[in-house]
Amino acid sequence: GAVVSQHPSRVICKSGTSVKIECRSLDFQATTMFWYRQFPKQSLMLMATSNEGSKATYEQGVEKDKFLINHASLTLSTLTVTSAHPEDSSFYICSARDRLNLYEQYFGPGTRLTVT
Amino acid sequence: RKEVEQDPGPFNVPEGATVAFNCTYSNSASQSFFWYRQDCRKEPKLLMSVYSSGNEDGRFTAQLNRASQYISLLIRDSKLSDSATYLCVATVGSSNTGKLIFGQGTTLQVKP
């Protein structure tokens, strides 16, 4: 099946610093990637939809200047959490939609961010 | 009101039991529905799609009632390995451009 990787899997950073998370589709081309955030015992919340070569579409309440998304190629999207605060600590998961099979999304393994 | 609502549980059942999860969605325009399984601290994995006519995959049966905006998942002969959180998902927008909206999840613990 299609594989999506995320890097890093776990990161601890100090408050005020920025953290970049990479999402890669390893064996398919993804025109669209999605970024989700999940707090403990809560649902996955969609943060933004990222289309290759264009600006990301952010969900209501998600600050686009704080969560910078770049989708520069058909296999890579990055999420940068700028000026991170402890309340940004969460599980960040990306998913990718196959260009050749638009009905399925494949999820990455997630990145656990802890801001101290 | 949440777009997709589930009873968070937990459901504690013995091995071999049959357990049913329910889910309701608020957007009547939602077209596609899924059940995902999520293990602790892992990403969600697609369990099965849900079709209007109902569908079965081994011990798992999914049902959709569009009139009531209600989705269900039935697990027969529960195994210890079925212990996980089950996420109900509805799409918003078309199948090829839409978004997945996740419910909070229902936690299942299967005990020996």
Q: Tell me the pLDDT band of A38, cut-offs 50, 70 and 90.
A: very high
Here the tokens at position B26 are 């608020």
Q: Note the pLDDT of residue A102.
A: 66
Q: Note the pLDDT of residue B44.
A: 94
Please tell me if residue A103 touches chain B, with a CB cutoff of 8 Å: yes
> Distance between CA A37 and CA A67 in Å, rounded?
11
**CA-based diameter of chain A, in Å?**
41
Query: Who has greater pLDDT, A1 or B66?
Result: B66
How far B54 CA lies from chain A's nearest CA (Å)? 19
Question: What is the end-to-end Cα distance of chain A in Å, rounded?
Answer: 37
> Would you list which residues of chain B are within 8 Å, Cβ to Cβ, of chain A?
4, 8, 32, 41-46, 87, 95-97, 99-105
Question: Taking CB atoms and an 8 Å limit, are B95 and A93 in contact across chains?
Answer: no
CA B5 from centroid of its chain's CA atoms: 10
> Distance between CA B41 and CA A107 in Å, rounded?
13
Here the tokens at position A69 are 């998304």
Task: Phi first, then psi: give them for residue B106, nearest 5 degrees.
Answer: -120, 125
Determine the average pLDDT of the residues in A42-54: 90
Question: What is the end-to-end Cα distance of chain B in Å, rounded?
Answer: 37
Query: Who has greater pLDDT, A67 or B96?
Result: A67
Report chain A's C-alpha Rg in angstroms: 13
What are the tens digits of pLDDT across the range B22-66? 999 999 988 889 999 999 989 999 999 998 888 999 999 999 999
How far A16 CA lies from chain B's nearest CA (Å)? 25
CA A33 from centroid of its chain's CA atoms: 8
Determine the average pLDDT of the residues in B100-109: 94
